[in-house]
Amino acid sequence: MILIHDVRLIDPEAGTDKRGAVLVADGMIKEVLRNSEQVSGFARETGVETVDGGGLCLAPGIVDIGVKVCEPGERHKESFASAGRAAARGGVTTMVTRPDTDPVIDTPEMVRFQIERAEDDCIVRMLPMAALTKGRAGREMTEIGFLGDAGAVAFTDCDAVVSDTKVLSRAMTYAAGLGALVIGHPQEPVLSAGACMTSGQYASQLGLPAVSPLAERMGLERDLALVEATGVRWHADQITTQAALPALRRARETGLPVTAGTSVHHLTLNELDVADYRTFFKVKPPLRSEADRLALIGALVDGEIDLISSMHTPQDEESKRLPYEEAASGAVALETLLHAALQLVHAGYLNLPMLFAKLALNPARLLGLRCGRLSSGAPADLILFDPDRPYVLNRETLASKSKNTPYDLRRMQGRVVATWVRGRRVHGEGTS
């Protein structure tokens, strides 16, 4: 048994931030202790390992939906081993991986390959998503039932939007019959093709091809109409514009089985960060205006946006050291997700329990997982962190194989001190 004591317990389910301790046994949370006499009693028992939290915060580990691990096909960009180390250092205890690999994860054999690779090499939990259509080509749906039996927890074509509405409707209908979760990327594919900035004065000044925020709204409206028609459980991977929020709000008010997420980059950065064509800030969808960023934070606080994800997308130097329009999209963020998201706490938008509802509890609920909670009987996937510790991020020190972070040399506040998965420490002092 392990007793982690003298900590601030960040409980997203109860919405509390109180002093106490957690007793871990057999990979599960055995008991949450708030009475000092109970803590002292357990600390004196033989066979109990004690961890002094030093007054830091103990929270459930992050469940990150939308992580790209580049196995198979591009292992030089990210492997399960390197992604697992980055996740542990960033407080992510469950990675939900995307199927946009090379080749695509669109068969039961490929799903099992990923699960077996992760079991061998990854120190955190991994749950795979599978493609909604074969090859993410948008022409023929995958064998959703067999993929689910193999271990796929959701179905998505990621940023390869299915433009054939009939194909998408059939796939949604089939998924609804199986109770499967479909994850969409709200974007009108013709309008957004080739764009790398959000339309406006700044994109014009830089002379870069841009897309209107209305492309996100149009894509969202179409997908929500199909959700209404099919009844499928549906999640928007990234809502990034103010223009899309009214449609999302209407869907919720009418009781559609819809949830939504956004990326930490769209909550903490805006289009001005591109500055002089800095390609590490090129993500998909492109960074938005400051008005959009603030609207997203408001939607997050109001509960219209359910969760925050890293949208971790490793790209090697050769893919990024190109003219902005030609450079690959994406940024690594497993290791920086929590540290960047803490900016919302320090700015006064969220408190810590609210933040961990978006990072841990809500993603776990979406996937029907028991983690994401600080309660007896929950898995002992825990992180100990200092929300106030300052540091300057140096991308060369990141555990990811690829170093394409937009936060390089930025002053950050907050640091993960230790991470446990199934009650075993995978990051921090004493890690085996």
CA-to-CA distance for 167 and 232, rounded, in angstroms? 14
CA-to-CA distance for 283 and 364, rounded, in angstroms? 25
Residues above pLDDT 70, as percent of the chain: 99
Contact predicate 94/62, CB 8 Å: yes
At 429, the pLDDT band (50, 70, 90 cuts) reads confident
3-10: average pLDDT: 96
56-68: average pLDDT: 98
At 308, the pLDDT band (50, 70, 90 cuts) reads very high
- In this model, does residue 432 exceed pLDDT 60? no
**N- to C-terminal Cα distance for the chain?**
17
Q: What is the pLDDT of residue 318?
A: 94
364-412 per-position pLDDT tens digit: 999 999 999 999 999 999 999 999 999 999 999 999 999 999 999 999 9
Contact predicate 329/196, CB 8 Å: yes
249-290 per-position pLDDT tens digit: 999 999 999 999 999 999 999 999 999 899 999 999 999 999
307-322 as b/e: b if 16+ CB within 10 A: bbbbbbbbbbeebbee
Tokens of 407: 């936060």
Q: Which domains does the chain have, with CATH numbers?
A: 61-367 (3.20.20.140)
Q: What is the pLDDT of residue 373?
A: 96
Q: What is the pLDDT of residue 430?
A: 56
Residues above pLDDT 90, as percent of the chain: 95
Q: What is the pLDDT of residue 40?
A: 72
- In this model, does residue 44 exceed pLDDT 90? no
Beta strands in 265-316 (DSSP E): 307-309
Averaged pLDDT score across all residues of the chain: 95
Closest CA to 374 of 87, 93, 85, 52: 93
Q: What is the pLDDT of residue 135?
A: 97
Record the pTM.
Answer: 0.96
CA-to-CA distance for 374 and 135, rounded, in angstroms? 39
11-33 per-position pLDDT tens digit: 999 999 999 999 999 999 999 99
Q: Is the peptide bond before 314 cis (omega within 30 degrees of 0)?
A: no
Residues 6+ apart with CB under 8 A from 134: 104, 106, 140, 141, 142
Tokens of 404: 């394409």
Beta-strand pair 411-421/424-427: antiparallel
